[in-house]
Amino acid sequence: MNDTQIKDGITLFDNRKEGHTERQPVMKGIVRLDGAELEVALWPKVSAKGTKYWSGTIAPKQERMKREPKRDEFNERIPF
């Protein structure tokens, strides 16, 4: 296997930022499996008996849309 091939594994990052709510995942990241990349999101949970565990979702990785820079119409040349 050469260095350019994707290895199977999981990469997770802490997703808690200012304004974080309970509806947002605490951990987010990428799962690499058989050359495919999937997005993963995790939330901490507590069972009725008090056992702590993680609950999560896995979905196909979506391409992020690139935002175009906002045009500053006031600084554009006026053709007079």
Q: What domain range is 27 assigned to?
A: 9-62
pLDDT at position 38, please? Answer: 93
Q: What are phi and psi of 27, to 5 degrees?
A: -125, 140
Q: How many domains does the chain have?
A: 1
In a domain, 28, yes or no: yes
Residue pLDDT, tens place only, 19-71: 888 889 999 999 998 888 999 999 999 999 999 999 999 999 877 666 666 66
Count of C-beta atoms within a 10 Å radius of residue 48: 5
* 17 part of a folded domain: yes
Q: Is residue 76 part of a domain?
A: no
Q: What is the pTM of this model?
A: 0.65
| In a domain? residue 71 | no
Residues 6+ positions from 17 with CB-CB distance below 8 Å: none
Q: Residue 77's pLDDT is what?
A: 63
Residue 33 lies in a domain: yes
Q: What's the gap between Cα 55 and its chain centre?
A: 16
Instruction: Report pLDDT for 43.
Output: 95
Q: Cα separation of 29 and 60, whole Å?
A: 12
pLDDT of residue 7: 83
User: Is 79 part of any domain?
Assistant: no
Nearest to 43 by CA among 64, 8, 14: 14
